[in-house]
């Protein structure tokens, strides 16, 4: 069944989607749609890629992009008991949806044993038999969750950011990547066993809706992105999003010129 594109930001309609910045791509129930033959790369992301790499390399320490100051990073690792028996990675996908630089998120299936119905980035645990690195983990998990006939071999990994502990103490490494081809509402059908929805929020919209809320776990205020009444980007996903948005994505797209700058 081919699915229509919906916007759920307030009372916005499809015609006003450029102002909403929040769009469903899939409800995770599958689709018979395929990537169109006219699949094309996004000029704004192509123009921003060199600057993304430059900023990432300039700010990285030992090849890792720091999300926080050393003191804040140390405090984050003290919020839970760390379990190093397993590691995990999430893919932070910079995409272009209807020409807008955006980040892609999923809503986890309500049937999952952990973090059910929460908004997150695609990701999962490192598997020794299939993964040679955490970058491999992030890409493999993203493909398994999102499905679809996307040219994953052309996804550009920019690098990894600081690992953070999940609420269960598992170290989670964010892997920053560019998905160079324009995506549509039918690009990723989603695996209903793992995700209920796949959606994008434009970078400009994320900047507009960002707020702060006191976190019981972190004992301080952390970012929250109320994308819609029933969609809140919070917790570790929001904690990862804010520094990457402000220190990497926004500066790179702004400096890229052209459509990227105009949309920010």
Strand partners for 183: 97
What's the rounded Cα separation, in Å, for the pair 145 and 193? 8
pLDDT at 34 > cutoff 60: no
Q: Is 179 helix (H, G, I), strand (E, B) or coil?
A: coil
The pLDDT confidence band at residue 26, using thresholds 50, 70 and 90, is low
Contacting residues for 57 by C-beta, under 8 A, at least 6 apart? 159
pLDDT top residue among 89 and 107: 89
pLDDT at 56 > cutoff 60: yes
Lowest mean pLDDT among 28-32, 61-65, 169-173: 28-32
Lowest mean pLDDT among 11-20, 32-41, 229-238: 11-20
pLDDT at 12 > cutoff 70: no
Tally of residues, the chain: 264
pLDDT at 3 > cutoff 70: no
- Residue 62 neighbours by CB distance under 10 Å: 5
Lowest mean pLDDT among 42-56, 84-98, 179-193, 245-259: 245-259
pLDDT at 25 > cutoff 70: no
Instruction: Find the distance separating the first CA and the last CA of the chain, reported in whole Å.
Output: 34
What's the rounded Cα separation, in Å, for the pair 133 and 12? 42
What's the rounded Cα separation, in Å, for the pair 110 and 58? 40
Specify the DSSP element, H or E, that contains 201: strand 195-202
Contacting residues for 258 by C-beta, under 8 A, at least 6 apart? 43, 44, 47
């Amino acid at each position: 069944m081919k699915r229509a594109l919906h916007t759920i930001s307030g009372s916005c309609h499809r015609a006003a989607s450029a102002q909403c910045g929040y769009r469903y791509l899939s409800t995770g129930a599958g689709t018979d749609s395929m990537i169109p033959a006219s699949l094309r790369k996004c000029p704004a992301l192509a123009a921003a890629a060199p600057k993304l790499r430059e900023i990432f390399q300039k700010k990285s320490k030992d090849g890792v992009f720091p999300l926080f100051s050393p003191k804040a990073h140390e405090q984050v690792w003290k919020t839970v008991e760390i379990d190093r028996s397993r590691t995990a990675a999430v893919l932070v996908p910079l995409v272009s949806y209807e020409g807008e630089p955006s980040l892609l998120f999923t809503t986890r299936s309500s049937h999952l044993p952990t973090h059910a119905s929460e908004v997150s980035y695609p990701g999962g645990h490192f598997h020794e038999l299939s993964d040679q690195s955490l970058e491999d983990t992030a890409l493999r998990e993203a493909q398994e969750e999102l499905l679809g006939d996307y040219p994953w071999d052309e996804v550009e990994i920019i690098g990894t950011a600081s690992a953070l502990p999940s609420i269960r103490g598992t170290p989670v490494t964010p892997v920053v990547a560019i998905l160079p081809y324009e995506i549509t509402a039918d690009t990723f059908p989603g695996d209903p066993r793992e995700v209920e929805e796949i959606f994008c929020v434009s970078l400009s919209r994320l900047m507009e809706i960002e707020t702060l809320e006191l976190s019981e776990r972190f004992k301080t205020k952390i970012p929250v992105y109320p994308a819609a009444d029933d969609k809140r980007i919070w917790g570790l996903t929001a904690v990862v999003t804010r520094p990457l948005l402000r220190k990497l994505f926004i500066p790179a797209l702004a400096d890229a010129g052209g459509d990227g700058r105009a949309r920010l």
